[in-house]
Amino acid sequence: MKDKFIDADAAARLVADDDTVVLMGGGGGLMEATCLFQAVERRFLATRQPCRLTVVHALGIGDKKTLGMNCFAYEGLVRKVIGGHWVWSPRMQQLVADEKIAAYILPGGVSSQLLREIGAGRPGLFTHVGLGTVVDPRRGGGRMNASADEDLAEVVTIAGTEYLRYKPYSVDVAFIRASAADDDGNISFEHEAANLDAQALALAARACKGKVVVQVKERVPRGSLKAREVRIPAAWVDAIVVDPQQKSSYAIPFDPRLSGEITGAERFAAEPADNEPFNERQAIARRAACELFEGAVVNYGVGVPDAVSRLVVQRGELDRIYQTIEHGTYGGSLLMGELFGYARNPSAILDAPTQFDFYGGGGLDIAFLGFGEFDAEGNVNVSRLGGLAVGPGGFIDIAQNARKVVFCGTFAAKGVKLATGDGRMRIAQQGAVRKLVRQVEQVTFSGSQGAARGQEVLYLTERASFRLTSDGVELFEIAPGIDLQRDVLDQMEFKPRLAATIDTMAASHFNERDERFGRLAAP
């Protein structure tokens, strides 16, 4: 059979003008085919080809500078982008703001699952995920600027129930990242920190008679890969590029703890959580952690929820919950910031579409998620902030399906000065940007839909706690040291319902030296 191994520049020449190119990857370089991305960038800068590409990615890809989606952030190179998360490429965000491209968002899970449907030749993805949110055609259809004039989904009714049908599209090229390829072209992920949606990308490209291009770190002899190590068979692969410089992340050359290759007692060795000064993040985390119970299946989002996951590590209680993230990982110690999506010593690594199947079927007990802003109806926005395209990542898939959703975030932004650590919370200076607003800029979580589904929804801040009711948002708790009128109600753009009894949060949440964090409750 034909040798499938080529160099990166030859791989870039497989992309033609007007092609639809699907990418995989996550922030920090997770499963990113950096060598292939850079080859396309080099070719475009030298020849102005390929041009007018449609680029699709389920999660955020990049370093906010030159890598990931930044390699495609050129006027002329792309004409349309369907992205799950945009903040890792400020240059691409600017192209959106300047109307240089047509910009869309899809929920991360929907994007991955839709590729699987395309790969199976089915007529799109039929799902409840996204109803009542910005991707519902009645609320914007996923369009992020005026240049975007299509609806990516349509509302359908099946047996009297509404669903969204996300429309299939044709895939011309799939860029995939893996660990190794044997001489025949069989692909292994054994040294990767995630699987993401690699199989779905490959399936979609094959079904559309497109090209599957895989970047790997090494070429190994025929027969050296065990059958169960092969995640993409040679029959699916068109071209392979070997990049000996491929890293686990932008900053980490290789760490077997991230790929789950550590076994035995070493896997369970305690890892100290990263320390940071005690502040409002830890206070919110302590209050949020009160919602945990032993045996809960939990998902953590990025932002303030980071602090909740760190607190669980500090308590030594990782073995008392089932910790998951949408990238497909179970267990382990989660990494934060630009390395969100990685876990040290995970207990299992699944494909992302399968993980989202589990979420969509109601597998999550609790999701701890951040918020950009929320309003009186309980709607939450994380997808468009200050006019910039941000995107939901897996937020919509997770928030819409967890039995309990705990939104965690600071009460206000920009210029806020807080003092805590002695059992109280004090506001030295109010913020210039209000996050509890009259009406959110975009609906990434629908309060009315959540109430109709019977979800338990909390909105926790360092000053006050709120919950979703059938009549909207209700305030039921304030922090010690906070003046309800001055520090909370006067700083909101809407008047919440007030609970019959407004409780005071435990002083231990705000005391730096108080180790009485509480223990996990029984289920």
User: What's the rounded Cα separation, in Å, for the pair 237 and 188?
Assistant: 12
User: What's the rounded Cα separation, in Å, for the pair 18 and 51?
Assistant: 6
Cα 172-175-181 angle, rounded to 5 deg: 125
Percent of the chain at pLDDT > 90 equals 92
User: What's the rounded Cα separation, in Å, for the pair 301 and 367?
Assistant: 8
State the pLDDT confidence band at 39, using cuts at 50, 70 and 90.
Answer: very high
Residue 519 has pLDDT above 60, yes or no: no
One-letter identity of residue 376 = A
Asked if residues 164 and 132 have their Cβ atoms less than 8 Å apart, the reply is no
State the pLDDT confidence band at 115, using cuts at 50, 70 and 90.
Answer: very high
How confident is the model at residue 266, as a pLDDT? 79
How confident is the model at residue 269, as a pLDDT? 72
Other Cβ atoms within 10 Å of 520 Cβ, number: 17
User: DSSP label at 522?
Assistant: P
Residue 518 has pLDDT above 80, yes or no: no
State the pLDDT confidence band at 267, using cuts at 50, 70 and 90.
Answer: confident
User: What's the rounded Cα separation, in Å, for the pair 379 and 439?
Assistant: 8
Q: Are strands 333-334 and 180-182 parallel, antiparallel or unpaired?
A: unpaired
> Which residue in 22, 8, 323 sits closest to 197, CA to CA?
22
Q: Exposure string (b/e) for 167-195, b if CB count within 10 Å is 16 or more?
A: ebbebbbbbbbbbbbbbbbbbbbbbbbbb
How confident is the model at residue 520, as a pLDDT? 60
User: What's the rounded Cα separation, in Å, for the pair 330 and 297?
Assistant: 10
User: What's the rounded Cα separation, in Å, for the pair 382 and 393?
Assistant: 10
Residues 376-395, mean pLDDT to the nearest whole number: 96
Q: What ranges in 296-440 are assigned the alpha helix state H? A: 305-315, 352-360, 395-399
User: What's the rounded Cα separation, in Å, for the pair 133 and 135?
Assistant: 5
Asked if residues 118 and 353 have their Cβ atoms less than 8 Å apart, the reply is no
Cα 451 to chain centroid, rounded: 24
> Which residue in 43, 106, 103 sits closest to 78, CA to CA?
103
Strand arrangement, sheet containing 436-437: 380-381, 373-375, 436-437
Summarised one tens digit per residue, pLDDT across range 429-481 is 999 999 999 999 999 999 999 999 999 999 999 999 999 999 999 999 999 99
Asked if residues 178 and 188 have their Cβ atoms less than 8 Å apart, the reply is yes
Task: Tell me which of 186-200, 330-344, 397-411 is least confident.
Answer: 330-344
Task: Tell me which of 149-153, 246-250, 512-516 is least confident.
Answer: 512-516
Whether pTM > 0.85 for this model: the answer is: yes
- φ, ψ of residue 354 in degrees (nearest 5): -70, -40
Asked if residues 434 and 493 have their Cβ atoms less than 8 Å apart, the reply is yes
Summarised one tens digit per residue, pLDDT across range 127-137 is 999 999 999 99
How confident is the model at residue 523, as a pLDDT? 54
How confident is the model at residue 138, as a pLDDT? 97
Residue 515 has pLDDT above 70, yes or no: no
Give me the active site residues, please: 326
User: What's the rounded Cα separation, in Å, for the pair 165 and 412?
Assistant: 37
Residue 103 has pLDDT above 80, yes or no: yes
User: What's the rounded Cα separation, in Å, for the pair 383 and 338?
Assistant: 18
DSSP annotation string for 250-265 = SS-S--TTTTT---GG
How confident is the model at residue 468, as a pLDDT? 98
How confident is the model at residue 2, as a pLDDT? 86
Residues 242-248, mean pLDDT to the nearest whole number: 98
Give me the domains of the chain, ranges plus CATH numbers: 8-242 (3.40.1080.10), 280-510 (3.40.1080.10)
How confident is the model at residue 513, as a pLDDT? 84
Asked if residues 407 and 460 have their Cβ atoms less than 8 Å apart, the reply is yes
How confident is the model at residue 154, as a pLDDT? 98
Residue with tokens 């009460």: 411
> Which residue in 443, 445, 469 sits closest to 456, CA to CA?
469
State the pLDDT confidence band at 274, using cuts at 50, 70 and 90.
Answer: low
State the pLDDT confidence band at 99, using cuts at 50, 70 and 90.
Answer: very high
How confident is the model at residue 522, as a pLDDT? 56
Task: Tell me which of 226-235, 334-343, 424-433 is least confident.
Answer: 334-343
223: left (phi over 0), alpha (psi -120 to 50) or beta: left
User: DSSP label at 167?
Assistant: P
Average model confidence (pLDDT) for the chain?
Answer: 95
Residues 398-418, mean pLDDT to the nearest whole number: 97
